[in-house]
Amino acid sequence: MLNDQVLLITGASRGIGAASAICFAQAGAKVVAAARSRDALEDVAARIGALHGTCLPIPADVTDEASVRHLVAHALARFGRIDLLINNAGVGVCGPTERTTLDDWNVVIGTNLKGAFLCAREIIPVMVRQGGGHIINVASQAGRFGFPRLALYCASKYGLIGMSESLGRELAASNIRVSYLCPGWVDTAFLEIFQDDIVRKAIKASPHAIAREILDLATKPRIASRPTFVGKVARLLKRRLQGAATQCETYSSF
Tens digit of each residue's pLDDT (9 = 90 or more) over 214-238 = 999 999 865 544 444 444 444 544 4
Encode pLDDT of 245-254 as tens digits. 346 888 776 4
pLDDT of the residue at 248: 80
pLDDT of the residue at 227: 47
Q: Is residue 207 part of a domain?
A: yes
pLDDT of the residue at 221: 64
Q: Which residue has the higher pLDDT, 206 or 188?
A: 206
Q: Is residue 28 part of a domain?
A: yes
Active site residue 251: no
Q: Is residue 161 over pLDDT 90?
A: yes
Encode pLDDT of 50-89 as tens digits. 999 999 999 999 999 999 999 999 999 999 999 999 999 9
Q: Is residue 1 part of a domain?
A: no
The mean predicted confidence, pLDDT, of the chain is 88
pLDDT of the residue at 246: 42
- Owning domain of residue 219: 6-252
Q: Which residue has the higher pLDDT, 117 or 4?
A: 117
pLDDT of the residue at 228: 43
Mean pLDDT confidence for 160-167: 97
Q: Is residue 182 part of a domain?
A: yes
> Can you give the chain as a three-state secondary structure string?
CCCCCEEEEECCCCHHHHHHHHHHHHCCCEEEEEECCHHHHHHHHHHHHHCCCEEEEEECCCCCHHHHHHHHHHHHHHHCCCCEEEECCCCCCCCCHHHCCHHHHHHHHHHHHHHHHHHHHHHHHHHHHHCCEEEEEECCHHHCCCCCCCHHHHHHHHHHHHHHHHHHHHHHHHCEEEEEEEECCECCHHHHHCCHHHHHHCCCECHHHHHHHHHHHHHCCCCCCCCCHHHHHHHHHHHHHHCHHHCEEEEECC
Q: Is residue 178 part of a domain?
A: yes
Which CATH number goes with the domain that contains 197?
A: 3.40.50.720
Q: 153, 158, 180, 251: which is the annotated catalytic residue? A: 153
Mean pLDDT confidence for 195-221: 83
Q: Is residue 80 part of a domain?
A: yes
pLDDT of the residue at 242: 42
Domain count, the chain: 1
